[in-house]
Structure 1
Amino acid sequence: MAAQAQTTGADAHAEELRRRNVAGQPTAPPATGTQAPVKEKSKEKPFDILTFLDETEFLWAPLIFTALAFFTRMWKIGLSPIVTWDEAHFGKFGSHYLKREFYFDVHPPLGKMLVGLSGYLAGYNGSFEFKSGETYPEELNYTFMRLFNSAFGALCVPVAYFTAKELNFRRPTVWLITLAVLFENSYTTISRFILLDSMLLFFTFTTVLCWAKFHRLQNDPFSPEWGLWLMFTGVSIGCVCSVKWVGLFCTALVGLYTVEDLWNKFGDLKMPKIELFTHVAFRVFGLILIPLAVYMFSFYMHFLVLENSGPGDAQMSSLFQANLRGTEVGKDSPLEIAYGSRATLKNMGYGGGLLHSHHQTYPEGSSQQQITCYHHKDANNDWFFYPNRGEVDYNPEEEPRFPGNGDTIRLIHAQTGRNLHSHQIAAPVTKSDWEVSCYGNTTVGDTKDHWIVEVVRDAASWDKSKLRTLTTAFRLKHVDLGCYLRAGNVNLPQWGFKQIEVTCTKDNKPRDVYTHWNVESHWNEKLPPGDPGSYKSPFLQDFIHLNVAMMTSNNALVPDPDKQDDLASKFWQWPILHVGLRMCGWDDKIVKYFLLGNPIVYWGSTASLGIFGLLVLWYLIRWQRGYTDLKQFEIDQIHYAGVYPVIGWFLHYLPFVAMGRVTYVHHYYPALYFAIICAGFCMDWATRKVNKQITWTIFGALYIVIIGLFWLFRAICFGMEGSNQQWNHLKWFSTWRITD
């Protein structure tokens, strides 16, 4: 027992010596006999500034980066007093919010509402028209509105810093990614104007940060912090999608990660089923319901604020328009349609327009007068309701006769006096349908001018026997052919002024909303005015209607072969920095801005995508041959800090390869961020086993090159004054149109 006690005491003493050595404390020889223990003097470690900076880097580094970000994004921001590039669009949309006028645009409303908020805070009243190249009036504080927008661009920098940390990169890499975002010329320039791009980038950055934070907490599921970052990810997804639909690509990235994560949990047989169900429920709530709620709420606010009639009314349903203040739709219109009534007919399909005709004829087919759908209001949208040729002719002096469900009518174009007509001639674009034209007049014609009214529903009454202004949805069936009048979202060629094609479809699909019509405006002196506008249009219906109209208009933004667009560019030109973009006129008297990236950031990030692919291929080949080069934490680092950023790049880049719409250099900017992260990963991986001093030397050289090139090209960001010939030295390639 004594020997055991001695052994235990020796072990305890050895442990004490080990503890002191680890702590860096001096050790004393063991006490023998009754010798008193030697008293140690405590020595404080001298203050070391380098150690202090190293330990507090998480405080001072993001502060310095953020201060530099606000400087680069805001310095001389008000130098140019003219409406620059797409400020003509988004400034005007901001004006509509201040005047509360309903407008239409292809982008969701959140970013434009924020532009309107910047104008409100600047004391702007919404009266300026924001015409391109026009000088801002003195009473409009455009500098403040630009500063408001630039704050989103500046905040991208600290978000990039913290994202790189969450992706488990070492400090030199964290700084490299942050500096690449901070001193990226294109990010700087695009953030300095009243545009949506800085907001789009900011919410893209925050989505990646929230996702990275959430991923780092995977070993602590259902904790308050885990749930908080899951919900933050959902809110960020909702915001980025509410600025531009490009945010859907960010949503897809998080969606792929979630599918993989849940699939792995599904394969974990040790996980209780209730826990797996809870994981699924949390993600449905956080990553589907929350983003959808944020997205829909932005449209709710959009409808709530824009309560006055404006230039975008025609994109919405007639019932929606009738509830806008100051609208002429439905105003004093008689409720029931009678023969002799003059009316406009609105297609009830998503993005549908008004039934329209004009003197121009089809270049092929029947060569008769064109029938189209048109969103703008003019007299060529007006039609008279007349009885069919088998009934008693319409007499202006007669008592009103009311056509209803099942009745056969004629529609006569008010401006040309011709009948709405169809025949067995293929439609000009949709060849499977019959052509619809205008033919004859009130006396000349045949039964091919006859249409049967089929009432679908009525928002004001269960009675479907009558036609009512705004509230009645009806179809028009051709008597001879049995086809239905339809206006899809197909646009005619230039000879049809790119207006919507109207056809007579052979398919009888009662639920096809593109065959549904309603009377929007109605004039008849013999009938008393009604109040059909008292019926509200449901929010969900308006929400879906507007989103489909946005999608349709977005798809119609295709390059015009008859018109040269000097600002447009191709997808392959972006990653190699083949072109830039002139943001304004190039006259010597105005301040000029050129949208061009930092060459080392662009070329380095693009090259890293290929390098990363080779890296993954190398390890896959080694793995297949039986080598075990990587530990599990290294595989995870490649997976989440390498593969997912590359997937993010592809998701944000490849859609622009496939889509036929006109494209510009700024469409690449969200994808560029993921390429920058990939470049950071490649540098981090390549130097992970390199001596610390050599690592900092390599990264220091990269920092200098990034900052140096940014400074070299600073004039394209902060404004080029005077003759553009002063910057000939920046025109490295003929496609960089910095000079004439």
Structure 2
Amino acid sequence: MAKKSSSPTATKLKSAALKHNKTLKDDDNVLTLDPLVEPLFQKGYIREYLITTPTTTLLKKRQLKNKELLFFIIPLIVISIFVRLSNLSNPNSVVFDEVHFGGFAKKYILGTYFMDVHPPLAKMLYAAVGSLGGFKGDFDFKSIGDKFPDTTPYVFMRQFPAILGIGTVLLCYLTLRQSGVRPIIAFITSLLLIIENSNVTISRYILLDSPLVFFIASSIYAFKKFEIQIPFSVGWFRALIATGIALGLALSSKWVGLFTVAWVGCLCLYQLWFLIGDLSVNTKKVWAHFFLRGILLLGIPLALYFGFFAIHFKLLKNEGDGAAFMSSAFRAGLNGNKIPTDITAEVGLGSVVTIRHMDTQGGYLHSHDHFYPTGSKQQQITLYPHLDSNNKWLIEPYNGTIHNITFVPLINGMKIRLKHLNTGRRLHSHDEKPPVSERDWQKEASCYGYEGFEGDANDDFVVEIVNHRTEPGQAQAFVKALKTVFRLRHAMTGHYLFSSEVKLPDWGFGQQEVSTASSGKRHLTHWYIETNENSILPKSQQTIINYPKLSLWKKFIESHRKMWKINSGLTDHHHWQSSPTEWPFLLRGINYWGNDHKQVYLLGNAVTWWSTTAIIFAFIIYSGISILNWHLGGSISTNKHVFNFNVQLFSYVLGWGLHYLPFFIMGRQLFLHHYLPALYFGILALGQFFELFTSYLTAQNKIVNKIGYFILAVFVSLGFVFYLNYSSLIYGTPWTKSSCELSRPFSSWDFDCNTFYKSLDQYLIEEESASSSNKPSKETETVKAEAKQTPKSKPKLAKKEPHIESPPNPKKAVNPEKLNEQLAPPAIDDKIKTPKKR
């Protein structure tokens, strides 16, 4: 009997089953796994539209396979541990910004207030780690190169950023897997991140960069996972909330996190555009997407950001050097403050007062028995930030003596004179240019007079109350201490008593210049009275007031105004600063540390660095050509590999741009490490290109495909060779002068080769002689003599000084008997003078 042939339908079913079984088998094989699905389009009224809702098939394809743990994840962890955690005890002294962030950890532990330009989370985490390690705040982290005592768990504290660096590598792998990259390509890309020199360097020291990049990487991973979830499912909400939390952590570590929030926001708007065009999604769901994403992706980060500042203020409850940059009302809430209390509110003729400037850190209207070297050469008028008897002024009537019979209140529009209590000279102005700010609209303010001199018309000032900044009520008619904000108009010239951030030179002890001005920012002419004593006013009629206790919200607002102002003021030139135009091309690094003929220098891995730059610029050109072609009637490829490449690379290049381009409009000092968040996006983009290269561009032919993988292997090998060659600059280990010079192809890579010995044997002999208490042998003496012939010029370090300007040096400007009354000068914590990094 003849065999019955199969029907066409049965043949199709059998073919589909075989194809399905092959797909399942391929999906189980981590080497041949295909994580992509074809994009789905539906025919609309006019044109096709993209189906935006992910499928369960896509979710299943993007799930991690059990074999990945064995073949990829565990090896990544092992290699990362070796690279990131090796020899963290070296150097055993302070490196680069450990000056600041180690110092901040100390201040958190001691509870002393400091001022910094960055949000508090990462610094609080370092303090927590240090406290767990037994750090009691007994080491100052004062200068680069200071050796750590045994009581400082610096290795334990350095392990924290190193572990976060390992976490960033894993997040890189997981992110690429969620964005449609096969395990082997995700593994190769993560290897490049492991051996990326600059990322290794930042993860070995007590710096903000490693926590920041980790939290940004967490945000990217959470959002990429969110993109492939079925809308409004449990997984969708979980990923959305995780994204919000990660964004909050990034934002609370450094303001660069704002760029990551902007990246997520831009992608949400981009996705909402396609949701609106997806006719299978009704209007109600589109609005649900809009509001849920907006509330969770903005609300959670802002709540976390505010919450961490609340903890920050709670921990820093004691007076500290950074308090000098806050208002007296803010400082009044700190333990151990010396802010005046129980102040008489009523101000009038005969009152002895101290007058504070409102909107600078200059402090009190001040004079002392020193004179301008130019101009009128009369007695100096300055602003001084500390309590001192030279801040006291007597309020006099402009046309006579004070009558000690009745109290005459100071009112709006009253003409007065201010007599300096210690020297007897009066506040004065005239037609002379100020000593530093030689502007036509500013005139010199001075103190003038002598014994028996009753003053002249140039001593007369008119009080003008500023109603919109003054507490409503009587304080807007009568000048009240603490409550009334006023201006002092010079009666003869119409100029107002004025001060900005301009500092006097050494002859003025670095104190803040005061002048009179007819122009300038109006708020810089605003003053208020802090202390007030008046013997004429009976005690029974005196109202005693104090600074009000600031709410958490007011503390939050004030601290951010100061942070913004200080950050904007970091404009002085720094030896190791660089321009954003240089960063993508790795034209220069930063010297972190140098000692004992060794050096730590921040330098990226040029193989990876330049490749990311090439891919990003190539994609921008490719996108422009594709868009032009589409406008000319051409079609956009819907091949799943090309489609996914376009979508994912667009998001990563967008992230790169948002974390890089804003630096072009910043006027402050900038350094290479500011580029590292953008570089992370670039590495993700590079991984996406590798995926397209091996799964589409070279996949049509097995031989060509093998050549493609061989090229990737060579690429990774080159990156590894670069990492090894420059590893001495990462770990601060011995290197030779000749090897250093051969490894410096560009003069702009300005690590100092003269730092290193001529041979490695010299390091060994030095170590042996250092550990031996016996008299050195002749051989040792010979080697040491050779070492002395080697130039020992230490590399110029990116020395980090206070971020904020130190207060004026009192020198002779204060009464020596009153020095004990002054607040401790702010040793301040974040750069304005030299290092000014970050």
Interval of TM-score (by shorter of Structure 1 and Structure 2): 0.7 to 0.9
- Most deviating of 102-111 and 430-439: 430-439
Letter in 2 for 1:689: L
Letter in 1 for 2:92: P
Alignment map for 1:607-626 (pairs within 5 Å): 607-626=614-633
Q: In 2, distance between residues paired with 1:65 and 1:521?
A: 64
Q: Tell me which residue corresponds to 1:138.
A: 150
Letter in 1 for 2:723: F
Q: In 2, distance between residues paired with 1:558 and 1:386?
A: 40
Alignment map for 1:357-506 (pairs within 5 Å): 373=383, 376-377=385-386, 379=388, 382-393=391-402, 403-404=410-411, 406-413=413-420, 417-422=424-429, 434-435=442-443, 437-441=445-449, 443-447=454-458, 449-454=460-465, 456=467, 464=476, 466-480=478-492, 484-487=496-499, 491=502
**Cα distance 1:429–1:67, how it changes in 2: closer, same or farther (>3 A)?**
farther
Q: In 2, distance between residues paired with 1:503 and 1:225?
A: 63
- Most deviating of 547-556 and 280-289: 280-289
Q: Are 1:321 and 2:331 matched, yes or no?
A: yes
**Cα distance 1:49–1:372, how it changes in 2: closer, same or farther (>3 A)?**
closer
Q: In 2, distance between residues paired with 1:282 and 1:409?
A: 61
- Most deviating of 16-25 and 55-64: 16-25
Structure 1 position 682, deviation (Å): 2.9
The two structures have a TM-score, normalised by structure 1, of 0.83
Structure 1 position 84, deviation (Å): 1.3
Alignment map for 1:92-491 (pairs within 5 Å): 92-132=103-143, 133-217=145-229, 220-266=230-276, 272-331=282-341, 333-337=343-347, 339=349, 341-349=351-359, 353-356=363-366, 373=383, 376-377=385-386, 379=388, 382-393=391-402, 403-404=410-411, 406-413=413-420, 417-422=424-429, 434-435=442-443, 437-441=445-449, 443-447=454-458, 449-454=460-465, 456=467, 464=476, 466-480=478-492, 484-487=496-499, 491=502
Structure 1 position 453, deviation (Å): 4.8
Where do 5+ consecutive residues of structure 1 fail to align? 1-6, 26-46
Q: In 2, distance between residues paired with 1:372 and 1:255?
A: 48
Q: In 2, distance between residues paired with 1:506 and 1:661?
A: 29
Letter in 1 for 2:391: D
Q: In 1, distance between residues paired with 2:746 and 2:9?
A: 74
Deviations 1:185-215 (A, max 9, x none): 1111111111111111111211222222222
SS of the equivalent of 1:571 reads coil
Q: Tell me which residue corresponds to 2:827.
A: none
**Could you tell me which of 48, 61, 68 is aligned with 2:79?**
68
SS of the equivalent of 1:701 reads helix
SS of the equivalent of 1:592 reads strand
Q: In 2, distance between residues paired with 1:10 and 1:114?
A: 70
**Could you tell me which of 547, 569, 579 is aligned with 2:578?**
569
Deviations 1:434-492 (A, max 9, x none): 4461242373342553131526466698665554544444444444555654556x545
SS of the equivalent of 2:393 reads strand
SS of the equivalent of 2:648 reads helix
SS of the equivalent of 2:416 reads strand
**Could you tell me which of 542, 548, 573 is aligned with 1:535?**
548
The two structures have a TM-score, normalised by structure 2, of 0.74
Q: In 1, distance between residues paired with 2:610 and 2:729?
A: 19
Q: In 1, distance between residues paired with 2:352 and 2:490?
A: 21
SS of the equivalent of 2:644 reads helix
Q: In 2, distance between residues paired with 1:315 and 1:100?
A: 17
Q: Tell me which residue corresponds to 2:589.
A: 580
Structure 1 position 72, deviation (Å): 1.6
Letter in 2 for 1:345: I
- Most deviating of 517-526 and 193-202: 517-526
Q: Tell me which residue corresponds to 2:94.
A: 83
Q: Tell me which residue corresponds to 1:660.
A: 667
SS of the equivalent of 1:312 reads helix
- Most deviating of 246-255 and 666-675: 246-255
Deviations 1:369-427 (A, max 9, x none): 665555x42648713131232242487xx887653555443334456654444567787
Deviations 1:231-282 (A, max 9, x none): 2222222222222222222222222223333344455677554433332221
Letter in 2 for 1:454: I
Q: In 2, distance between residues paired with 1:645 and 1:498?
A: 48
Is the Cα contact below 8 Å between 2:461 and 2:488 reproduced in 1?
Answer: no
Letter in 2 for 1:205: A
Is the Cα contact below 8 Å between 2:349 and 2:397 reproduced in 1?
Answer: no
**Cα distance 1:449–1:264, how it changes in 2: closer, same or farther (>3 A)?**
farther
Q: In 2, distance between residues paired with 1:48 and 1:555?
A: 54
Q: In 2, distance between residues paired with 1:643 and 1:362?
A: 61
Q: Are 1:600 and 2:613 matched, yes or no?
A: no
**Cα distance 1:279–1:492, how it changes in 2: closer, same or farther (>3 A)?**
farther
The number of equivalent residue pairs is: 700
Alignment map for 1:548-563 (pairs within 5 Å): 548-560=561-573
Q: In 2, distance between residues paired with 1:168 and 1:110?
A: 33
SS of the equivalent of 1:295 reads helix
Structure 1 position 634, deviation (Å): 5.3
Q: In 1, distance between residues paired with 2:32 and 2:134?
A: 49
Letter in 1 for 2:584: P
**Cα distance 1:17–1:135, how it changes in 2: closer, same or farther (>3 A)?**
closer
Letter in 1 for 2:722: L
Q: In 1, distance between residues paired with 2:383 and 2:289?
A: 49
Q: Tell me which residue corresponds to 1:547.
A: 560
Deviations 1:328-358 (A, max 9, x none): 0124655544655554433333767444556
Q: In 2, distance between residues paired with 1:269 and 1:367?
A: 80
**Could you tell me which of 698, 703, 709 is aligned with 2:716?**
703
Deviations 1:630-673 (A, max 9, x none): 11755653443212222222222223333222222212211211
**Cα distance 1:110–1:449, how it changes in 2: closer, same or farther (>3 A)?**
farther
Q: In 1, distance between residues paired with 2:520 and 2:729?
A: 59
SS of the equivalent of 1:518 reads strand
Q: Tell me which residue corresponds to 1:690.
A: 698
Q: In 1, distance between residues paired with 2:8 and 2:286?
A: 47
Q: In 1, distance between residues paired with 2:366 and 2:553?
A: 28
Structure 1 position 88, deviation (Å): 0.9
Is the Cα contact below 8 Å between 1:474 and 1:518 reproduced in 2?
Answer: yes
Deviations 1:665-701 (A, max 9, x none): 2122112112222222333333323144333322222
Q: Tell me which residue corresponds to 1:32.
A: none
Q: In 1, distance between residues paired with 2:357 and 2:244?
A: 36
Q: Tell me which residue corresponds to 2:811.
A: none
Deviations 1:606-633 (A, max 9, x none): 2222222232234334434544361175
Deviations 1:541-592 (A, max 9, x none): 22122112111111111134xxxx432233333222222222123442xx53
Where do 5+ consecutive residues of structure 2 fail to align? 23-27, 34-63, 700-704, 755-838
Is the Cα contact below 8 Å between 1:577 and 1:602 reproduced in 2?
Answer: yes
